[in-house]
Amino acid sequence: MISRGKLAQIHIAKQQLGLSDEDYRAILARTAGVSSAKQLTNRNVGNVLAEFKRLGWEPKPAKKAGRKAPRPPATRQVVMGKVEALLADAGRPWAYADAMAQRMFQVERVDWLDDAQLHKLLQALIIDNKRHGGEG
């Protein structure tokens, strides 16, 4: 038996492709030798999903793990925007800045830093960016 997530993906693909029940069951029979998605195994579910992709179904990418960007007060938005830009340029999540805040100041999240600490974190990110060939 396959996971609920894979089963949901199959039903979403069926809906998005606009398949009739007859066509859907024909695809299951042809690609996996089953008449119901609940009969699929981990071995043959890939064949069904590959067939749906061949027919034009595009699965949505999984959500990235991580947290939402902080929402600073208006007085700190400019600096926080620069921090966000440096993180994006390096391809790093907000969790990276949180880890830096923890290591540098023993503060759990970047949004809890005071102005002086936030400025030092920004400087550290600028140095890191230059060190790794960024534009900044």
Q: How far is CA 75 from CA 35, 48, 84, 97, in A?
A: 61, 53, 16, 19
For the cut 70, the answer to whether the pLDDT of residue 63 exceeds it is: no
H/E stretch holding 109: none
For the cut 70, the answer to whether the pLDDT of residue 62 exceeds it is: no
> What residue spans define the domains of the chain?
4-54, 74-131
Q: So what's the pLDDT on residue 125? A: 95
**Strand, coil or helix: 135:** coil
DSSP structure class, residue 44: T
For the cut 70, the answer to whether the pLDDT of residue 64 exceeds it is: no
- In this prediction, residue 52 has a pLDDT band, given cuts at 50, 70 and 90, of very high
pLDDT in tens, 101-135: 999 999 999 989 999 999 999 999 999 988 887 66
The pTM of the full predicted model, rounded to 2 decimals, is 0.52
Q: So what's the pLDDT on residue 75? A: 84
Q: Which of 121, 133, 122, 124 is nearest to 90 (CA)?
A: 133
